Amino acid sequence: MEGIYLIAAVGQDGGLGADNQLLWHLKPDLEHFRQLTTGHLVVMGGKTYRSLGKPLKNRPNLVLTRSRIEEPGVETFHDLTELKQAVASLEKPVYIIGGASLYAEFLPLAEKLYLTEIAATKPADVYFPQFDPNDFHRRELQSGESEGIKFTICEYVRK
C-alpha cells in the first residue's frame, strides 16, 4: 500500500460542514482538491456521496453506505472492516474525502493530511477529528485570500 491521505477544508474550530453541505467553497481549495485527487482513488461515506450527487470524475469512488449505488466508477461497501481491507490491499494512494466518521476511522492509518485551514468559523454540525500536530511535520503549500476569507493549504506528513 502506498498511502492513506485525508483531505479536507476546516474552519478554525475544525468545522467541516452543516446540514450535509461543506462550509467552505473556496476556489483555490477546490482546485487543490481536484489536482491532488484526480486519477486517484477517493473514499467517502454515503452522506458525502449524496451531497456530491454523483461520482467524482476521473477517479474511482469507494463509498461506505447502507444504500445501493449503481453508478459507473462507484464501488460500494456496506461494512467498514471490508472497506478498510480493500483500501489496505491497494498499491496506490487513497484519498479519504469525508465525512467526519471516516476521517476519524482512517486518521490513525493516515500517512498524510491535506488540510485547507480556514481563518474563520461558521456554524457546523460535523468536525474534523482532533489530532496531535506533534505527530506530523507541517508544511504550508499555499496561502492567500479568497472571497474575503484567509486560508492556508497545509500538508501534514506523519513523523
Reported as a single tens digit per residue, the pLDDT across 71-111 is 888 999 999 889 888 888 888 899 999 999 999 999 999 99
> Residue 2 — pLDDT band, cuts 50, 70, 90?
low
What confidence score (pLDDT) does residue 124 get?
97
Cis peptide leading into residue 99 (ω within 30°): yes
Reported as a single tens digit per residue, the pLDDT across 32-55 is 999 999 999 999 999 999 999 899
Torsion of CA 45, 49, 52, 54, to 10 degrees: 150
What confidence score (pLDDT) does residue 69 get?
83
Instruction: For domain 3-158, give the CATH number.
Output: 3.40.430.10
Reported as a single tens digit per residue, the pLDDT across 123-155 is 999 999 999 999 999 999 999 999 999 999 999
State the number of CA atoms in the 13 A half-sphere of 143 facing the CB: 7
Distance CA 69, CA 49 (A): 10
Q: Whole-model pTM above 0.75?
A: yes
